[in-house]
Amino acid sequence: MRSRFLLIPAAICAGTVAGGPAYGGAFYLNIEQAQQLLFPKASFEEDFHILTDDQIKAIQTDSDVSVTDRKVRLWKVSSGESFYIDQVIGLNSDVTYAVGVNSKGQVTGIEILECWEHYDQVRHPLWRAQFTGKKRGDTLDNGKEGIEKISGTTLSSVHITEGVRRILSTHAVLQGAKL
């Protein structure tokens, strides 16, 4: 047996499939990289929140998605938008993704940071593009009018869709909107 331990700088690892084809999935982006992809050249200020019970209730009622993590990982973008990092349950483990939201409450884009699946088509630009422009109250499910469900990675595609819906409600709550 030969083996060695490595700590691979994330910047180098991004875009390569760590572990080779057998395991599938990888850390694709770190937070800074996702920020620059969604909001090039902007600067970011951490603005994390801990949701209150009332806020959680409001978000759950509005989005019809349960809130499992009280912590909201939000960054304020220098150009006025909001950048969220969120995790949802995928096939094997959590999928970590980022959502950009503009001042009108519309999704500007999503990026997958980490997804441990062989069939990680949730990273496909066309699938992700379906979210762009969506805002709270728009059809954001996996029905006919909604986001396409991906066969082979159904769980992740459904959960990311729900996650974005929850984030849009969370965004509204944090902006002080009465839901």
Q: Decide the pairing of beta strands 82-89 and 26-27.
A: unpaired
Q: Decide the pairing of beta strands 71-77 and 107-115.
A: unpaired
Nearer to other proteins, 17 or 102 (CB): 17
Q: CB 13 → other proteins: shortest distance, Å?
A: 5
Q: Which helix (H) or strand (E) holds 32?
A: helix 31-38
Q: CB 115 → other proteins: shortest distance, Å?
A: 11
Residue 84 pairs in a beta bridge with: 74, 99
Q: Which residues bind other proteins (CB under 8 A)?
A: 1-10, 12-13, 16-24, 26-27, 30-32, 73, 85, 91-94, 96, 113-114, 116, 118
Q: CB 38 → other proteins: shortest distance, Å?
A: 16
Nearer to other proteins, 60 or 87 (CB): 87
Distances (CA, A) of 9 to 29, 41, 92, 124: 11, 22, 24, 24
Nearer to other proteins, 48 or 124 (CB): 48
